[in-house]
Amino acid sequence: MAIAKLEALQKFDLGDKMTSWEERRAQGRAMRLKVPLESHAEWRPARNRPDPLKLLAENNKGRQAHLIPLRMGRMAASPFTFLRGSACVMASDLSTSPITGFPVVMDGDAHLSNFGFYGTPQREVVFDLNDFDEAVVGPWEWDLKRLVASVNIAGRQNGLNAKERAAAVKRSVEGYCENADRLQDMGVLDIWYLHAYPGRENAIVKPDAKSKAVIEKTMAKAMRTDNRNLLSKIGDKDANGLWTFRDDPPVLTTVPAATKKKVIEALNKYADTLPRERRIMLNRYHVVDVAHRIVGVGSVGTRAYLVLLFGNGENDPLFLQVKESVQAAHAPYLPPMEAEFRHNGKRVVVGQRALQASSDPMLGYTSIDGRDFYVRQMKNLKASIPVEWLTGASFNFYAMACGSLLARSHARTGDPARISGYCGGSKVLSEALATWAESYGDQTVSDHAALLSAIQSGKIKAVVQADDAG
């Protein structure tokens, strides 16, 4: 197995002066001689390409066995859901692709459905990346290719022809390159201050009328998605007036008393990973009930608990999700991370804080029975734009917005000057990645068909349920 040749992130030394952004941009431009922009156009599976179904079977090890058929069923729904659930397959494929070696904290799973709206600690709704289970230090290109592959495959699902899919991918890449260019000479702290506020006049990408309507509808949903509204949807009072979760299998199920005790103990340990002042705040809450909750596509089978807490009475509910963290999909193909990030919960937490402009103030990590977990709020003014709603100009706008936002996320820990210098101002990279995305889209359709065939033959067990992206 080849390990990507990746530079290390800058060593911490406040006495070490950074070279000028112009010099670093020139370094990026020079990299085109070693890794030509055109080299990103080719996707051709190697003769020894690992069997995707075997990679998925390996990825299923350690998950709850009774939920694996549900995971397979969700992945079987469409080529797009297959892509969502098969980050391990794409990680293997990307490990053979050309890279510049410029490192960033990468999301690792930056497909279209992993962008969305959520609330900042100041209770404003922003647009940003919102899933970090695969976060790791890696090549910026792998995130961008994951994104454009999802643009192509979602475009197919939405009825776009090959020419329209290529146009959408190009807009996504252009959004990435244009924002990297905008950020390359910006102050480091200024980049960390940047937020994407949907609907504001100073938005980086101006929406068309249809896109604006979709954004407004999704923002309205986000503003209604809070702890109080969630309580009435998934909780009930019992005969004694005590709140409990409403059993809703397979998504939400009760847990034994012993498991509930372990989760509470894990939350007590998690509190030590919060800043001191937030630990004081959390201590004013108490746990009311614990349930097991299934979320997403790729995460199905991992252990995830939903915890209901009350603070200043029943009108002050808090929902915390305690979610198992396993090895990042790209980790086998990258240099080992520092020892402190071998706790996968901490890896996810640091990745989220590095990539998001404003992160959940309740974000932390813990362990249960020797397994790594991270903790976050369950509902935090959160909503996602349904990709299936988008066609034409609105699809292209969303693809470009995600590309632009990905560049800003990478600029927080990577070097936008070198990335921008490499991308350049021509259409060469966007055209190359449009070609690559179409070929990889064909590959994903083929891999999805192989999964369907294995299910139909009985080689793989699958249970089809409505997807709940959580």
Mean pLDDT for the chain overall: 93
Res 71 pLDDT > 90: yes
Tokens of 459: 């080689």
pTM of the model: 0.95
Least confident of 238-242, 383-387, 463-467: 463-467
Q: Is residue 323 part of a domain?
A: yes
Report which DSSP code applies to 373: E
Of residues 168, 170, 146, the one with CA closest to residue 159: 168
The pLDDT-based confidence of 339 (bands split at 50, 70, 90) is confident
Task: Looking at the structure, tell me whether residues 176 and 231 fall in a common domain.
Answer: no
Tokens of 130: 């919102």
Count the domains in the chain.
Answer: 2
- pLDDT at residue number 170: 98
> Domain end: 352, 377, 402, which one?
377
One-letter amino acid at 368 equals I
Q: Which helix (H) or strand (E) holds 433?
A: helix 428-457
Q: Is residue 25 part of a domain?
A: yes
d(CA 416, CA 184): 5
Task: Looking at the structure, tell me whether residues 427 and 350 fall in a common domain.
Answer: no
Task: Looking at the structure, tell me whether residues 426 and 413 fall in a common domain.
Answer: yes
Task: Looking at the structure, tell me whether residues 315 and 403 fall in a common domain.
Answer: no
> Domain end: 349, 377, 405, which one?
377
Q: Is residue 14 part of a domain?
A: no
Task: Looking at the structure, tell me whether residues 248 and 332 fall in a common domain.
Answer: yes
Task: Looking at the structure, tell me whether residues 214 and 241 fall in a common domain.
Answer: no
d(CA 152, CA 79): 11
76 burial class (0-12, 13-18, 19+ CB within 10 angstroms)?
Answer: buried
- pLDDT at residue number 229: 86
Query: Quick check: helix, strand or coil at residue 381?
Result: coil
Q: Are the CB atoms for 72 and 460 separated by under 8 Å?
A: yes
Q: Is residue 383 part of a domain?
A: no
Task: Looking at the structure, tell me whether residues 41 and 115 fall in a common domain.
Answer: yes
The pLDDT-based confidence of 205 (bands split at 50, 70, 90) is low
Q: Is residue 412 part of a domain?
A: yes
Tokens of 128: 């940003």
Q: Is residue 15 part of a domain?
A: no
Q: Is residue 250 part of a domain?
A: yes
Share of the chain above pLDDT 70, in %: 97
94 burial class (0-12, 13-18, 19+ CB within 10 angstroms)?
Answer: buried
Of residues 127, 132, 105, the one with CA closest to residue 116: 127
Task: Looking at the structure, tell me whether residues 403 and 335 fall in a common domain.
Answer: no
Task: Looking at the structure, tell me whether residues 78 and 193 fall in a common domain.
Answer: yes
Token look-up 């007036």 returns 241
Q: Are the CB atoms for 414 and 104 separated by under 8 Å?
A: yes
Q: What angle do CA 427, 435, 37 make, to 5 degrees?
A: 45
Task: Looking at the structure, tell me whether residues 419 and 448 fall in a common domain.
Answer: yes
Task: Looking at the structure, tell me whether residues 50 and 176 fall in a common domain.
Answer: yes
Task: Looking at the structure, tell me whether residues 78 and 114 fall in a common domain.
Answer: yes
Q: Is residue 467 part of a domain?
A: no
> Domain end: 312, 344, 377, which one?
377
Cβ density class 259-297: b for 16+ within 10 Å, e for less:
bbebbeebbeebbebbeeebeeebeebebbbbbbbbbbb
Residue of higher predicted confidence among 53 and 198: 53
State the residue range of the domain holding 367. 224-377
